[in-house]
Structure 1
Amino acid sequence: MLRSTHSFLLVAFFLMGLNSPIQAKMLHVPQDYGTIQIAINAAAIGDTIIVSAGTYNERIKLKPGITVRSEGDDTKDTMGMKRAEATIINGQGNNGQHPGVIMAEGSTLDGFTITGIGNFDEQVWKKHFDSQGEELSDEQGAVNAEGTIPAISIQGVGCIVSNNIVHHNGDVGIAVIGIEGRLNHALVTSNRSYRNMGGGIGIADFSQAIISGNTCHQNLRAGIGCRNASPIVIGNSCFKNVRAGIGCREGAGPIIRGNECYSNRRAGIGIRMANTAPLVENNICYENDMAGIGNRDGAEPIIRNNQCFSNKMAGIGCDGSKPLIVGNECRANSLAGIGLRGGATATIKENVCLENKLVAIGVTHGSQATISGNRLIRTGGVPPIIAVKDGSDATIENNDINGGGVAAILVQGKARISRNRFNGTGDKQGNAIWVWESSSVIISENNFDGFRAAVNASEAIITVTGNSITRFQRIAIAVKDSVKPAHIYGNRATTADRQAKVIELDGPAGIVESNELTYE
Structure 2
Amino acid sequence: MKKCHVVYLVCTAAMVGTGLGAAPASADHTTHVVHPGESIQKAVDAAEPGDTVLVTPGTYHESVRVSTPGLTLRGVGRSTVVKPSTEKAAGSTCAEDGNGICVIGTKDKNVKDVTIANLTVTGFKRTGLFSVATDGLTVRNVTAEKNGVWGIAQEQSVHGTFRDNVARDNGDAGIFLANTVKAEEGAADTEGTVVVHNRVEGNRIGVTVRRLRNLAVADNYISGNCAGVFVVGDENKPKAGDLVVRDNHVVRNNKSCPKTDRLDALQGSGIVLTGTEKVLVADNMVEGNSGTSPMSGGIVLFKSFVGVTGEKNEINGNRLRDNSPADLVSTETGAAAKSNTFESNTCGASKPAGLC
Structure 1 length normalisation: TM-score? Answer: 0.49
Aligned mates of 1:326, 1:223 — CA distance in 2: 25
Aligned mates of 2:193, 2:96 — CA distance in 1: 25
Contact 2:130-2:153 within 8 A present in 1 as well: yes
Residue 100 (structure 2) aligns with: 100
Residue 54 of structure 1, CA deviation: 0.4
Contact 1:249-1:276 within 8 A present in 2 as well: no
Match of 2:44 among 36, 40, 45: 40
Structure 2 gaps, min length 5: 2-25, 89-94, 104-110, 180-187, 234-238, 255-267, 291-295, 304-308
Match of 1:189 among 146, 158, 163: 163
Cα deviation, 1:78-102, whole Å, max 9, x if unaligned, reads xxxxx22x11000258963232111
Q: What is the correspondence of 1:436-451 to structure 2 with a 5 Å cutoff?
A: none
Residue 277 of structure 1, CA deviation: 3.4
Q: What is the correspondence of 1:334-373 to structure 2 with a 5 Å cutoff?
A: 337-340=349-352, 361=353
Residue 328 (structure 1) aligns with: 345
Cα deviation, 1:20-77, whole Å, max 9, x if unaligned, reads x95111111028x921111111111111111110000011112211111113xxxxxx
Runs of 4+ in 1 over 2 A off after TM superposition: 92-99
Contact 1:90-1:117 within 8 A present in 2 as well: yes
Whether 2:88 is the aligned partner of 1:88: answer no
* Aligned-residue RMSD, C-alpha: 2.2
Aligned mates of 1:296, 1:88 — CA distance in 2: 39
Residue 132 (structure 2) aligns with: 155
Whether 2:231 is the aligned partner of 1:252: answer no
Contact 2:286-2:298 within 8 A present in 1 as well: yes
Aligned mates of 2:100, 2:117 — CA distance in 1: 14
Secondary structure class of the residue paired with 1:112:
strand
Secondary structure class of the residue paired with 1:209:
strand
Residue 229 (structure 1) aligns with: 212
Secondary structure class of the residue paired with 1:295:
strand
Residue 156 of structure 1, CA deviation: 2.5
Identity %: 25
Aligned mates of 2:287, 2:52 — CA distance in 1: 42
Residue 163 of structure 1, CA deviation: 0.2
The AA in structure 2 aligned to 1:165 is T
Secondary structure class of the residue paired with 1:329:
coil
Residue 139 (structure 1) aligns with: none
Secondary structure class of the residue paired with 1:151:
strand
Secondary structure class of the residue paired with 1:311:
coil
Rate the CA distance shift 1:94–1:39 in 2: closer, same or farther, 3 A.
closer
Whether 2:295 is the aligned partner of 1:295: answer no
May I ask how many residue pairs the two structures share in their alignment? 270
Aligned mates of 1:111, 1:55 — CA distance in 2: 14
Aligned mates of 1:199, 1:209 — CA distance in 2: 17
Residue 223 (structure 2) aligns with: 239
Contact 1:44-1:66 within 8 A present in 2 as well: yes
Contact 2:82-2:120 within 8 A present in 1 as well: yes
Aligned mates of 2:289, 2:87 — CA distance in 1: 33
Structure 2 length normalisation: TM-score? Answer: 0.71
Cα deviation, 1:107-137, whole Å, max 9, x if unaligned, reads 111111111110xxxxxxxxxxxxxxxxxxx
Match of 1:267 among 241, 266, 269: 269
Contact 1:270-1:295 within 8 A present in 2 as well: yes
Contact 1:100-1:151 within 8 A present in 2 as well: yes
Aligned mates of 1:93, 1:278 — CA distance in 2: 44
The AA in structure 2 aligned to 1:161 is V
Residue 107 (structure 2) aligns with: none
Residue 68 (structure 1) aligns with: 73
Residue 211 (structure 1) aligns with: 195
Aligned mates of 1:326, 1:161 — CA distance in 2: 34
Rate the CA distance shift 1:286–1:94 in 2: closer, same or farther, 3 A.
farther
Residue 27 (structure 1) aligns with: 32
Residue 281 (structure 2) aligns with: 280
* Structure with bigger RCO (C-alpha 8 Å, 6+ apart): 2
Cα deviation, 1:172-230, whole Å, max 9, x if unaligned, reads 11112125xxxx1110110000111110001111234210100111112x100011112
Rate the CA distance shift 1:68–1:291 in 2: closer, same or farther, 3 A.
same
Aligned mates of 1:93, 1:196 — CA distance in 2: 20
Residue 252 of structure 1, CA deviation: 2.3
Structure 1 gaps, min length 5: 5-20, 72-82, 119-148, 332-336, 341-360, 363-370, 375-520
Cα deviation, 1:437-462, whole Å, max 9, x if unaligned, reads xxxxxxxxxxxxxxxxxxxxxxxxxx
Residue 236 of structure 1, CA deviation: 0.6
Residue 309 of structure 1, CA deviation: 0.5
Rate the CA distance shift 1:233–1:190 in 2: closer, same or farther, 3 A.
same
Residue 154 of structure 1, CA deviation: 2.1
Contact 1:172-1:198 within 8 A present in 2 as well: yes
